[in-house]
Amino acid sequence: MLKPPRPHWLTAGGCVFVHDPDRPAALEPVFWRPEVFPGTVIVAPAPQGYDARKPLALAGLAPLIPDRRDGLEHHNILADPDGDHYLWRPDGGSGRCLAVVLPLDDTADLRFEAIGRFLRRLRGRPGGPRPTGLQLTPMRRARLVQLLHALDYRLAGCGPRAIAAALVDKDAASLPAIEWKSSAARRKANRLIRDAQALMNGGYRKLLRGD
């Protein structure tokens, strides 16, 4: 597979990053607010006056990534082999009994499943798989990888024909102009470019919502 030319950001107006850009992104924890990702469970104090008989506590859960704090807000990730649990505590630590909040929006079903997984894990049982709507099938995953490759090529200045030759059909590079114009490889390359750019321009958020 062809490799797109590597841009030289630091010599072309680049800037210093908070995190090392050469460090793999997968090694850094990522926190999503619940309005963006319905898999994030909202944990808040129970209403005033509620007296729990046997309150469940987050203390002692392991492995629990330490708080990522933003003002009073606390973010945690509870590791799980079947899929990590993402927690958002909007008012930070509290001595009161905890509750989970289920916003009644168009992703309420996904949120309900995520809450169920978290409660099972909180009780010391396997959380189980992530909600089906938040899982990527092997076919969808392969398509997304292809779109990311197409985006890399496009941002590096490659045109549809070069992208088609790299990702669709290697013979596309040698097609006569008249054949290329009406070829399936050209149509596929243009779709890849269109979908990849849409993904970059905010479409990735649909993946987080199970769309």
- pTM for this one? 0.72
Residue 9 in this model has a pLDDT that exceeds 60: no
**Helix (H), strand (E) at residue 75:** strand 73-78
User: pLDDT-derived band of residue 163, with 50, 70 and 90 as boundaries?
Assistant: very high
Residues 6+ apart with CB under 8 A from 51: 97
DSSP state of 82: T
- Of 82, 85, 99, 81, which is closest to residue 32 (Cα–Cα)? 85
Q: Which of 43-57, 155-169, 176-190 has the lowest average pLDDT?
A: 43-57
pLDDT digits (tens, 9 = 90+) for 59-99: 666 666 656 666 667 888 888 888 899 999 887 656 678 88
Residue 13 in this model has a pLDDT that exceeds 60: no
Q: State the DSSP string of 27-41.
A: GS-----TTT-TTEE
Residue 43 in this model has a pLDDT that exceeds 70: yes
C-alpha neighbours within 13 Å on the C-beta side of residue 172: 22
Reduced to 3 states, what is the DSSP secondary structure of residue 105? coil
